[in-house]
Amino acid sequence: MRRGVRALFGQRARLRWLHLILGGALFMPYWLVGTVVMGPFLDDAAMFSGGLGVQLGAYAVALPLVAVTALFPLARPMSVAAARTLCGVPADGFADGPARGRAAKARTAGWFSLHLGTGALVSGATLALPPFAVAVMGLPFSPALRESEVGRFWGLDRPWWDWAALPAGLLLLLALAATAAAVGALLARLAPRLLGPSPADRIAAAERRAAEAESRNRLARELHDSVGHALSAVTLQAGAARRVLDGDGADLAFVREALTAIEETTRRTVGELDWVLGVLRDDGRTAGDGPGPGLDALEALVRGAGPGVALTVSGDLAAAPEALSREAYRIVQEGLTNAARHAGGAPVAVRLDARNEEWEITMENPLPERPPVARPHGGRGLRGVGERARLLGGTAEAGPVDGVWRLAVRIPR
């Protein structure tokens, strides 16, 4: 009993009833147009008499107009928003955005016509039946109502209505609620089929997810390269300065140079971190589109890595496109970070050859006594270097070669 009452009058049933009434309200302009279209076939008295035949004719004219309107781009987003809120259907059962393709547009037209068409019928019954049911239930208590023209028209002046009027009125209201609940449940069942994602929608959603994943990966690389390099460089410079101060005859010039490098590195990293955080606050929509550091900051990067880093440049770096300049900077930065972590302060040679159609970035440092173990797919840093190179159509290789650790990256211009 309780389950039946909830099915007819619970919150979900009430929301679906409201959804149908909304469809009826949207149907009204089309019905008025249908009434005007029916005008030439009727005389003026019949047109405005509101007879059942006129109403059904206007209804039949209005439905095709509803279907045509559903072909406009706004129809599906509006229908999805209403159905998602009022029909009790999980949100992932709906497609996002306008319908794409003939099949999706046809399904949208079918849904829009079904929603407005059934909504018009249920709305009309909702407006007409409750007053009529109340009048029926009032028959035993109002002789004037039984003897009125309406009462005689519907046969309500007959004696047997005195005992049947009250249950008949209640049954009318119950039938209205049951009809609204049944039609609402039918629409809720059909909503995912008619408003659900088409193959084109699924492809578009997959592309959006791929773009978002790429954006997150790019931000992760930026944070890893920027912050990781700064921490490694600062640790290396601070350790070298401490060892000099602990020794005999401290070289204050070297300590001053190390502290200057730490200052420059931290200042540059704060600026890079502020840029990355700005991209994060923008939900990743402009990831990689901001300026970021480029090859114009390469000398400061190498200077901050310590005196053991030698930079050799062949060609004009200023002519590099912005994307290439930014990625090349990050590749060198990650190479220096790896050298600082694993080479134990050994000298590092950085060479950039920009003279040919294919840029070459090579970084070498002597292997320590215990060479670093090369993981099958590299660490996060080397994996990030490979991703950056592939993003520009290039290649990246890293590993021990002839007693040195070599990172070699080739990128087409």
Q: Does residue 412 contact residue 394 with C-beta atoms inside 8 Å?
A: yes
Closest CA to 27 of 88, 70, 87: 70
Q: Average pLDDT of 128-151?
A: 73
Instruction: Kindly list the distances between the CA atom of residue 279 and the CA atoms of 97, 253, 352, in Å, as whole numbers in the listed order.
Output: 25, 39, 29
Give residue 115's pLDDT: 94
Look up the CATH superfamily of 212-412.
Answer: Histidine kinase-like ATPase, C-terminal domain (3.30.565.10)
Q: Does residue 342 contact residue 380 with C-beta atoms inside 8 Å?
A: no
Interval 388-398: pLDDT, tens:
888 788 898 88
Say if residue 153's pLDDT is above 90.
no
In the chain, where the domains are located: 2-197, 212-412
Model's pTM, two decimal places? 0.54
Task: List 411's β-bridge partners, or say none.
Answer: 359
Interval 57-110: pLDDT, tens:
888 889 999 999 999 988 999 999 999 888 888 887 888 888 888 888 899 999
Interval 169-215: pLDDT, tens:
889 899 999 999 999 999 999 999 899 887 777 766 677 777 667 76
Give residue 284's pLDDT: 47
More confident residue, 118 or 134: 118
The amino acid sitting at 126 is T
SS3 content of the chain, % helix, strand, coil (to 5): 70, 10, 20
Torsion sign, CA atoms 213, 216, 222, 223: negative
- The pLDDT confidence band at residue 119, using thresholds 50, 70 and 90, is very high
- The pLDDT confidence band at residue 122, using thresholds 50, 70 and 90, is very high
